[in-house]
Amino acid sequence: MTRRGWFSGVMLVLGLVFLYVPIASMVVYSFNASRLVTVWDAAHSPTLKWYAVLFSDGQVLHAAWLSLRVALSASTISSVLGLMAGIALSRFGPFRGRSLLLGMTTAPIVMPEVISGLSLLLLFIALEHAIGWPHGMGMLTLILGHVSFCMAYVTVVIQSRLAGFDQSLEEAAMDLGARPAKVFWAITLPLILPAVVSGWLLSFTLSWDDLVISEFVAGPGSSTLPMVIFSKVRLGVSPDVNALATIMVSIVATGVVVAAVWMRRRQRRSERDAQLAAAANL
């Protein structure tokens, strides 16, 4: 880094410390024997006792299972819907209702969640009152509620990917005799697959993580994992939550490392290809 960049460099390092210290502290204290979260009990630590507590907590396990099912469904549905919306917005040119769709796909990203949650719950209640559906709040309403904001993220991801690739690829396929449906399956979808995958992962995370909307639309019998955590930590610090956090952080970290290694390998391959092509030019 040049001398000119020292200030921003220092800020970057401090900012990263700021972002990672809380996460690191949870990981460290998850192995702490003391009930007092921040007092390190050197005599009995490190210990896995909070992990044992966590895994014997039926409420947590039940909630995690519900969250998993909700997140899988919500992310899959929102990937399909977001893919459709993204394609419509970036490939169909002007059409009637375009600004409506555009507005509705960007607004949920910034909409305060209490408002989305309240409005969804009131809708569900009004619907139930009017047509008897849905039957009370539960997994179904959770999924419906999560899809609406998850698909907004997928749409943005798909749109920016489509903006980055040459539309003449699709025209070329059509020129070579492929019908529109064929163009989509043979050309468009394979090319934006990485965006669809990352949109799905993002939706999964958002749904898995969502608290506020779930608080509104979950109903009494169906608490998601964040809801259980929230009720625990509202009552004060609870060490088994550190253990849960550590598990979640390690899953994400493993995923990231695997993805990074894979990307690195792919990049190295494409660098080699570029050299090959350069050699062919000689």
| 5-24 binders of another protein (CB under 8 A) | 5, 7-9, 11-12, 15-16, 18-23
Q: Which stretches of the chain are assigned E, i.e. beta strand?
A: none
| Residues of span 122-161 touching another protein by CB under 8 A | 122-123, 125-126, 129, 144-145, 147-148, 151, 155, 159-160
* Residue 66 binds another protein, judged by CB under 8 A: no
- Near another protein by CB under 8 A: residue from 42, 252, 258, 261: 252
Longest dimension (CA), the chain: 75
29 C-beta neighbours (distance < 10 Å), count: 22
Stretch that binds another protein, among 49-57, 68-76, 117-125, 131-139 (CB under 8 A): 117-125
| Residue 53 touches another protein, criterion: CB under 8 A | no
Among the residue ranges 46-54, 57-65, 120-128, 131-139, the one whose residues contact another protein (CB under 8 A): 120-128
- Specify the stretch interacting with another protein by CB under 8 A; choose among 45-53, 55-63, 131-139, 239-247: 239-247
Alpha-carbon separation of residue 152 from 71, 88, 146, 156, 168 (angstroms): 15, 13, 10, 6, 27
CB nearer another protein, residue 4 or residue 43: 4
Rounded to the nearest whole angstrom, what is the least distance from the CB of residue 266 to another protein in the complex? 12
Least Å from the CB of residue 115 to another protein: 5
Q: How far apart are CA 76 and CA 151, in angstroms?
A: 10
Task: Specify whether the CB–CB gap between 50 and 121 falls below 8 A.
Answer: no
Burial class (CB in 10 A: 0-12, 13-18, 19+), 22: exposed
- For the chain, report the end-to-end CA distance as a whole number of angstroms: 36
